Amino acid sequence: MSATLALLVIFAFVIYYKLIKRSPFWNIPGPKSSSYILGHAWDMFHKPTGVSELEWQDKYGSVVHLKGPFGTEQLMITDPKALYHIFQETDYIWRKSSSRKELSRLTSGRGLAWADGDIHKRQRKLMMPAFGAPEAKHYLPYFTACAATASHLYSNVQLCERWSDILSTSPEQTEVLNIAEWTTRFALDALGQAAFDYDFGAIKDEEGSELGKLYQGMMAKSFGMPSMATLLGLELFRFIPSRIMEFWNDHDPRYKLLHRVAQVATTTAQHLISMKSAAVSENKNKKDVMSILVKANMDAKSPNARLTEEEIWASIRVLIFAGHETTANSLSWMLYELARHPDLQQRVRAEVWGMQRKLTSRDTDTNITMQELESMSLFNATVKEGLRFHPPNPLMARTSTEDDVLPLSKPIRTTTGEVLHEIGVSKGTTVIASVAAYNRNPDVFGKDASVFNPERWLRPKLAESSGASFGVYANLGTFSAGIRSCIGWRFAVLEIQTLLYELLLNFEFHATAETDDIRRVTAFIMIPALKAELQKGSQMPLRVSFASRADQEELK
Ligand code: HEM
Contact 79, 280 (CB under 8 A): no
pLDDT value for 523: 85
Whole-number Cα distances in Å, 360 to 138, 287, 365, 380, 503: 22, 27, 9, 21, 17
The pLDDT value given to residue 554: 57
Neighbours of 10 (CB within 10 A): 10
> Following DSSP, what letter does each residue of 109-160 receive, concatenated?
-SSTTT--HHHHHHHHHHHGGGGSHHHHHHHHHHHHHHHS-TTSS--S--HH
Q: Could you tell me if the CB of 434 is within 6 A of ligand 1?
A: no
Ligand 1 near 327 CB (within 6 A)? yes
Distance 486 CA to ligand 1 centre (A): 4
Give the residue-averaged pLDDT of 66-91. Answer: 93
H/E/C letters for each residue in 469-522?
Answer: CCCCCCCCCCCCCHHHCCCCHHHHHHHHHHHHHHHHHHEEEECCCCHHHEEEEE
520 CA to middle of ligand 1, Å? 19
Residue 463 has what pLDDT?
A: 47
The C-alpha torsion from 405 through 410 and 415 to 420, rounded to 10°, is 40
Cα atoms in the 13 Å half-sphere on the side-chain side of 245:
19
| pLDDT at residue number 97 | 85
Cβ proximity of 372 and 355 under 8 Å: yes
Check whether 424 has a pLDDT greater than 90: yes
Residue 162 burial (C-beta neighbours within 10 Å; 0-12, 13-18, 19+):
middle
Q: Judge whether residue 362 has pLDDT over 90.
A: no
- State the helix-helix crossing angle for 377-389 and 309-340, rounded to 10 degrees: 110
For ligand 1, whether the C-beta of 333 sits within 6 Å is no
CB 98 within 8 A of CB 399: yes
- Could you please report the per-residue DSSP string of 48-81? STTHHHHHHHHHH-SEEEEE-GGG-EEEEE--HH
Facing residues of 177 across strands?
A: 542
- What whole-number distance in Å separates Cα of residue 78 and Cα of residue 436? 9
* 326 Cβ inside 6 Å of ligand 1: yes
Q: Measured from the CB, is residue 30 less than 6 Å from ligand 1?
A: no
Q: Give yes or no for residue 105 having a pLDDT over 70.
A: yes
Gap from CA of 407 to ligand 1 centroid (Å)? 26
Nearest protein Cα to ligand 1, atom 25? 323
Comparing 465 with 94, the larger pLDDT belongs to: 94
Give residue-wise pLDDT tens across range 527-537. 999 988 877 88
pLDDT at 464: 45
Ligand 1 site, residue 394, Cβ cutoff 6 A: no
Any ligand 1 atom below 6 A from CB of 122: no
Q: What percent of the chain lies above the pLDDT cut of 70?
A: 91
Query: What single-letter DSSP state applies at residue 88?
Result: I
Indicate the pLDDT class of residue 8, thresholds 50, 70 and 90: low
491 lines ligand 1 (CB under 6 A): yes
Specify the range with the lowest mean pLDDT, choosing from 2-6, 74-78, 179-183. Answer: 2-6
| Burial (0-12, 13-18, 19+ Cβ within 10 Å), 462 | middle
Q: Are 318 and 113 in contact (CB under 8 A)?
A: yes
What CA–CA distance (Å, rounded) separates 136 from 390? 24
**To test ligand 1's pocket by mutation, which of 326, 486, 489, 525 has the most ligand atoms within 8 angstroms of CB?**
486
Calculate the alpha carbon distances from 324 to 195, 210, 351 in Å: 11, 16, 27
Region label for 369, one of left (φ > 0), alpha (ψ between -120 and 50) or beta (otherwise): beta
pLDDT score of 155 more than 60: no
Report how far Cα 10 is from the mean position of its chain's Cα atoms: 44
Q: At what angle do helices 309-340 and 489-506 cross, to 10 degrees?
A: 40
How many whole angstroms separate alpha carbon 111 and alpha carbon 307?
10
pLDDT at position 445, please?
Answer: 93
CA of 97 to the centre of ligand 1 (A): 16
Instruction: Say if residue 217 is exposed, middle or buried (CB neighbours under 10 Å; 0-12, 13-18, 19+).
Output: buried
What is the average pLDDT across 329-352? 97
Q: Which atom of ligand 1 is nearest to the CA of 393?
A: 10
- Report whether residue 78 contacts ligand 1, using a CB cutoff of 6 Å: no
What is the pLDDT at residue 229?
80
Whether 471 lines ligand 1, by a CB cut-off of 6 Å, is: no
Q: What pLDDT is attached to residue 440?
A: 97
| Residue-wise DSSP of 179-222 | HHHHHHHHHHHHHIIIIIS----TTT-TT--HHHHHHTTHHHHH
Q: Is 99 in the pocket of ligand 1 (CB under 6 A)?
A: no
Cα–Cα distance for residue pair 464/442, rounded to 1 Å: 8
**Helices and strands (H, E) in the chain, number of each type:** 23, 12
- pLDDT bin (cut points 50, 70, 90) of residue 341 is very high
Between residues 56 and 237, the one the model is more confident about: 56
Residue nearest to atom 6 of ligand 1 (CA): 479
ipTM: 0.99
C-alpha–C-alpha distance, residues 431 and 76, integer Å:
6
- Mean pLDDT within 297-304: 84
Nearest Cα to Cα of residue 250 among 91, 106, 69: 106
Tens-place pLDDT, residues 466-492: 566 789 999 999 999 999 999 999 999
DSSP string of 253-273, one letter each residue: GGGHHHHHHHHHHHHHHHHHH
**CA–CA gap between residue 453 and residue 459 (Å, rounded):** 11
522 exposure class (CB count in 10 Å sphere: 0-12, 13-18, 19+):
buried
pLDDT per position as a tens digit, 258-293: 999 899 989 988 888 888 888 888 877 778 888 888
User: Each residue of 309-327: pLDDT tens digit?
Assistant: 889 889 988 999 899 899 9
- Per-residue pLDDT reduced to its tens digit, 107-152: 999 999 999 999 999 999 999 988 988 888 888 988 888 887 544 4
Residue 375 CA, ligand 1 centroid: distance in Å: 25
pLDDT greater at residue 377 or residue 158: 377
Burial status of residue 513 (CB atoms within 10 A of its CB: 0-12, 13-18, 19 or more): exposed
Tell me, in angstroms, the distance from the centre of ligand 1 to residue 487's CA: 6
Ligand 1 atom 21: residue of nearest CA: 486
- Please report the pLDDT score of residue 31 as a whole number: 96
**Cα(493) to centroid(ligand 1), Å:** 12
Q: What is the pLDDT of residue 552?
A: 56
Nearest ligand 1 atom, CA 396: 16
User: Is the pLDDT score of 507 beyond 80?
Assistant: yes
Average pLDDT over all residues of the chain: 88
Q: Can you tell me which atom of ligand 1 is nearest the CA of 477?
A: 10
Ligand 1 atom closest to Cα of 289?
30
Which one is predicted more confidently, 522 or 453? Answer: 453
Helix or strand or coil: residue 550? helix
Which residue has its alpha carbon closest to ligand 1 atom 43? 486
Q: Is the dihedral of CA 330, 334, 335, 340 positive or negative?
A: positive
Q: Check whether 17 has a pLDDT greater than 60.
A: no
CB distance 330 to 386 below 8 Å: yes
**Spatial CA neighbour of 473 closest among 483, 481, 465:** 481
Q: Is the CB of 276 under 6 A from ligand 1?
A: no
Name the helix (H) or strand (E) containing 299. helix 289-299
pLDDT confidence of 182, banded at 50, 70, 90? very high
More confident residue, 19 or 279: 279
Ranked by mean pLDDT, the top range of 32-41, 80-89, 249-258 is 80-89
Is the CB of residue 56 less than 8 Å from the CB of residue 457? no
**Ligand 1 atom nearest to CA at 319:** 29
Looking at the chain, the whole-number percentage of residues with pLDDT higher than 90 is: 54
The pLDDT, as a whole number, for residue 152 is 41
233-249 pLDDT, tens digit per residue, is 777 777 788 888 888 88
Residue 207's pLDDT band (cuts 50, 70, 90): low
The 10s digit of each residue's pLDDT in 367-385 is 899 999 999 999 999 999 9
Closest approach atom of ligand 1 to CA 315: 35
**Ligand 1, closest atom to CA 194?**
30
Is the beta carbon of 318 within 6 A of some atom in ligand 1? Answer: yes
- Is 486 flagged in the annotation as binding? yes
